[in-house]
Amino acid sequence: MLAQRLDALYETSEGHMVCTNEWDRRPAPRFHLMQTADGPLIRFRRDVPADLARRTKDIAASLTWAPDVQGPPAGLDRLVEAWAAQAPVRAVWSGPAFAMLHPARRLGPTLEINADNVGLLRGSFDDWLDDAPHRRPFIAVAHDAKAVSICASVRMSPAVHCAGVETHPDHRQRGHALVAVSAWAHAVQALGATPFYSTSWENAGSRRVAARLGFQMVASDLHID
């Protein structure tokens, strides 16, 4: 399941990442490491030199991971140093990955965004308007004819859906994200797929949403560009 999740994140060719698995095909990072209880899962971009790939695999194999980990891998500095020697590191991202492994329970009223009601996003989530036709299920919590919190499948395969979540700043800390994510997870499971939810280590609020909904931490992600 975890390998399926990693494969759902990117379009690949001959085992190499080409771009993100999204409708607008965003650039892939130079490498993505997913740490799991069974060991590391790694994907590289095609332009990564073979010796750097081997060095990365060696470092990753020396790292340990447990479901109660609360931060980036202890070997992060070694990984960044190795990649900086090849080219300047532009971005480092790390965070936990959660899966809903039991039946999801809907917590409140929501609606599914479609061509008829996409206007609910205007003024609050304009950046998502172009995404709406491509990200299904696309769930919203609405208030006064405006979406106030949304959760949608941003990368997906028949087996795995990965969540994208946002709540308008004026409506945060009111439980709206819990309602949106719970309904999204329920809709994904109805399709026969596993819902995954990921966030950064620094986003304590997002991590609380996962915990309160019963998502189980199954891995942690690290990617460097």
The dihedral region occupied by 14, where left means phi > 0, alpha psi between -120 and 50, and beta the remainder, is left
pLDDT of residue 106: 95
Q: How is 191-225 classified by DSSP, letter by letter?
A: TT-EEEEE--TT-HHHHHHHHHHT-EEEEEEEEE-
117-143 pLDDT tens trace? 999 999 999 999 999 999 999 999 999
pLDDT of residue 30: 97
Enumerate the CATH 3.40.630.30 domain ranges in the chain, comma separated: 111-216
pLDDT of residue 74: 87
106, 56, 63: which is closest to 83 by C-alpha? 56
Whole-number Å distance between alpha carbons of 208 and 98: 12
Residues of the chain with pLDDT under 50: none
Q: What is the pTM of this model?
A: 0.95
Q: How many CB atoms lie within 10 A of CB 62?
A: 12
Instruction: List the CATH code of the domain at 111-216.
Output: 3.40.630.30
